[in-house]
């Protein structure tokens, strides 16, 4: 990696934006990358990343060309240790992608927007996002939690709408609004 690329990465961290590259292929003749995106990070994470010891040059977790499953062995060891300690064999079923399933499912449950989940997970096709929608429907089976508010004045109605609440009905001369938790 050139000196310019190292300084660009340091600048990204200082500016609280980090380029996320999801490598699709390890083959040198197929340099494929999924959506390369810029994600904003908060100041505390930025300072923690800057303070990390750099075993891999400017990279935090791996160097270029390192196998994608480099950290898998350590993850499997820790998972086995926790399984024995807690005496819960179901922990062995957890893998890296389980966390992605959970995140996608909870995003859909919270926002109810296929396109938002698709964007957040970096999918190019909506068909890839449908898995998370199906998981959400199976887990929650239509159960939805709402926050309800009552507005008595025009200013209160405007405030609730600005905060993302939707109108439900009129009740005893007042307006009832709700928003998903």
Query: Do 130 and 90 belong together in one domain?
Result: yes
Q: Which helix (H) or strand (E) holds 73?
A: helix 72-86
The answer to whether residue 24 is domain-embedded is yes
Q: What is the pLDDT of residues 78-127, one digit of tens each?
A: 999 999 999 999 999 988 888 888 889 888 888 888 999 998 888 889 99
**By the 8 A CB rule, do 180 and 144 touch?**
yes
The answer to whether residue 89 is domain-embedded is yes
Query: Do 132 and 168 belong together in one domain?
Result: no
Q: What is the pLDDT of residues 144-172, one digit of tens each?
A: 778 889 999 999 999 998 888 888 888 88
Residue 138 has pLDDT above 80, yes or no: yes
Residue 110's SS3 state is helix
Q: How far is Cα of residue 116 from the mean position of the Cα atoms in its chain?
A: 11
The answer to whether residue 35 is domain-embedded is yes
Structural domains in the chain (count): 3
Q: Provide the domain limits for residue 163.
A: 146-180
Query: Do 32 and 77 belong together in one domain?
Result: no
Query: Do 76 and 134 belong together in one domain?
Result: yes
The answer to whether residue 11 is domain-embedded is yes
What pLDDT does 89 receive? 93
Q: What is the pLDDT of residues 18-76, one digit of tens each?
A: 555 544 444 444 444 444 556 667 788 778 877 877 777 767 667 767 776 777 888 88
Q: How far is Cα of residue 80 from the mean position of the Cα atoms in its chain?
A: 26
Query: Do 103 and 134 belong together in one domain?
Result: yes
The answer to whether residue 84 is domain-embedded is yes
Query: Do 134 and 153 belong together in one domain?
Result: no
Query: Do 109 and 136 belong together in one domain?
Result: yes
């Amino acid at each position: 990696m050139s000196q310019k690329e190292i300084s660009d990465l340091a600048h990204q961290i200082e500016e609280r934006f980090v380029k996320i590259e999801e490598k699709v292929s390890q083959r040198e003749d197929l340099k494929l990358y999924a959506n390369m995106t810029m994600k904003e990070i908060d100041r505390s994470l930025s300072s923690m990343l800057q303070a990390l010891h750099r075993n891999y040059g400017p990279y935090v977790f791996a160097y270029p060309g390192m196998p994608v499953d480099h950290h898998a062995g350590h993850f499997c060891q820790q998972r086995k240790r926790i399984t024995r300690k807690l005496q819960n064999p179901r922990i062995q079923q957890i893998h890296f992608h389980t966390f992605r399933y959970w995140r996608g499912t909870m995003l859909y449950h919270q926002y109810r927007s296929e396109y938002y989940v698709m964007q957040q997970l970096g999918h190019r096709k909506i068909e890839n996002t449908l898995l998370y929608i199906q998981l959400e429907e199976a887990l929650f089976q239509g159960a939805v939690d709402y926050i309800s508010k009552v507005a008595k004045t025009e200013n209160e109605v405007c405030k609730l709408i600005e905060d993302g609440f939707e109108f439900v009905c009129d009740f005893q001369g007042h307006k009832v609004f709700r928003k998903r938790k």
